Amino acid sequence: MNGRHVTDRVLVLLAGLGLVAGGLVLLDWEPGRVLDLEPVLRTGSARDLLDRDWWPWAQGGAGAVLALLALWWLLAHLPRRGPTRLGLPAPEGSDRVALATGPLGEVLSERVESTGALDHAHVDFARHRGATTATVRARVQQDADLVAVREAVAEVAAEVGAALAGAALAVQFRVAAPRRAGSPRRSRRGTVRLQ
Amino acid sequence: MSAPRIPEPRGRPAAATTAVLLALVLLVGGAALVVDATGSGGRERSASVRWVLEQLDGLRADEATTAIGAGVVLAGLVLVVLALRPRRRTHLPAGDPDLWLTPRAAGVLAAEEAEQHRDVLSARVASAGRRRLVLAVVPREVEPPPTLAASVRDAVVEAVPALRSSRVLVREEEG
């Protein structure tokens, strides 16, 4: 679970607990079993605060902080770009070597589609525990069986392992059903091979 | 350096959508407080806050406040459940190398396997979920063997191990 999801859960939990607490106070107000509150609400002293010179500043400041926090929270939900480069072990005497993940993803997608068992392939790169990960999403070709799908995936995984040895790239394959009849096909079957 | 295994695919947590809605509410509320504090539009400063406090003044505890309290507790409990609810599993494991199938993909592959059965003319996915797959098969014969559904189910689960944790139902239908 990433940090954003933890923040979401904690904040939603706090909001929920706050509502439960407020609701319980309202529930207990009339019977007064626990809190023994005044039966009539008086807001006079709170209204007196509004007449102080500093009140508008305090209200505006609190509002601005709330709005900025909410904005930060919203922006944190925007989709993040994955890593743009994948580091490779550099040969002795040379500088660092890195592969751009964009073209690598395209080559990987084409290779997956060229197996004949999968199509509509798309690769997303991300970071997980300090390493780069590649999630390959693809659809089963019409009439392909599980043996063909597993062979295709094993073949591609082996080629990635051999071609990017030492890059510590974890690859996961997520396969969905073929598009329903009538959906446009975008197959790029060819003879791409990762070497 | 070995790469860490990528976590199992899961859907967005229910709290994520709720969090966006809460953030929007906070954003609108915060902006309203700022606008009210500046007294824009020729209004007195903090006029809205004052109006709210005036409306609340003299409010008595009665059945209505109790009912509102019950509603607020209920809404809070819903948020607590949403916050604690685990993320939905979206795929079925299909073995190494780190291959995962959506329930529908597993169903389509199972239908493909079902069509290889000697007594089946055609097969399709009637419904597919993580826990339950329903395959509709058209038997080759007008009077199919009574064990057709069981033998198709066994063959399908054998061929698609991802379905071992699911309940596979085979329904016969006319061609």
Q: Of the given ranges (A78-92, B3-17, B26-40), which has the lowest mean pLDDT?
A: A78-92
The tokens describing A71, both together, are 């904005």
Higher pLDDT, B116 or A193: B116
What confidence score (pLDDT) does residue B3 get?
Answer: 66
- Of B107, B52, B58, B164, the residue nearest A50 (C-alpha): B52
Chain B residues with CB-CB distance to A21 below 8 A: 76
Q: Do B33 and A60 touch (CB under 8 A)?
A: yes
What confidence score (pLDDT) does residue A145 get?
Answer: 87
- Which one of A23, A41, A70 has the shortest CB-CB distance to B23? A70
Higher pLDDT, B120 or A79: B120
Express the helix, strand and coil content of chain B in percent, nearest 5 each.
Answer: 50, 20, 30
Q: Is the ipTM of this complex over 0.85?
A: no
Instruction: Scan residues 32-61 of A and list those with Cβ closer than 8 Å to B.
Output: 32, 37, 39-44, 46-47, 50, 55-57, 59-60
- Which one of B1, B5, B27 has the shortest CB-CB distance to A67? B27
Instruction: Scan residues 57-96 of B and list those with Cβ closer than 8 Å to A.
Output: 57-63, 65-66, 68-84, 87, 91, 94-96
Q: Do A16 and B77 touch (CB under 8 A)?
A: yes
Higher pLDDT, B41 or A47: A47
Query: For the purposes of burial, counting CB atoms within 10 Å of the CB of B33, is it exposed (0-12), middle (13-18) or buried (19 or more)?
Result: buried
Chain A residues with CB-CB distance to B36 below 8 A: 59, 63
Whether the Cβ atoms of residue A126 and residue A105 lie closer than 8 Å to each other: no
The whole-angstrom distance between A129's CA and the closest CA on chain B is: 7
What confidence score (pLDDT) does residue A185 get?
Answer: 42
B2: confidence class by pLDDT, cuts 50, 70, 90: low
Would the pLDDT of B73 be above 70? Answer: yes
- Which one of A44, A62, A131 has the shortest CB-CB distance to B3? A131
**B130-139 mean pLDDT:** 92
Whether the Cβ atoms of residue B126 and residue B136 lie closer than 8 Å to each other: yes
Chosen for mutation from B5, B21, B33 (greatest number of chain A CBs closer than 10 Å) is: B33
Q: Do B33 and A66 touch (CB under 8 A)?
A: yes
Percent of chain A surpassing pLDDT 70: 91
The H-assigned helical ranges of B1-143 are 14-38, 47-56, 63-84, 103-114
Q: In which residue ranges of chain A is pLDDT below 70? A: 1-2, 93, 181-195
Q: Do A5 and B9 touch (CB under 8 A)?
A: no
Is B20 in CB contact (< 8 Å) with chain A? yes
What confidence score (pLDDT) does residue A181 get?
Answer: 56
**B15-33 mean pLDDT:** 95
Instruction: Scan residues 25-44 of B and list those with Cβ closer than 8 Å to A.
Output: 25-27, 29-34, 36-39
B44: confidence class by pLDDT, cuts 50, 70, 90: confident
Chain B residues with CB-CB distance to A64 below 8 A: 30, 34
What confidence score (pLDDT) does residue B69 get?
Answer: 95
What confidence score (pLDDT) does residue B75 get?
Answer: 97
Q: Do A145 and B112 touch (CB under 8 A)?
A: yes
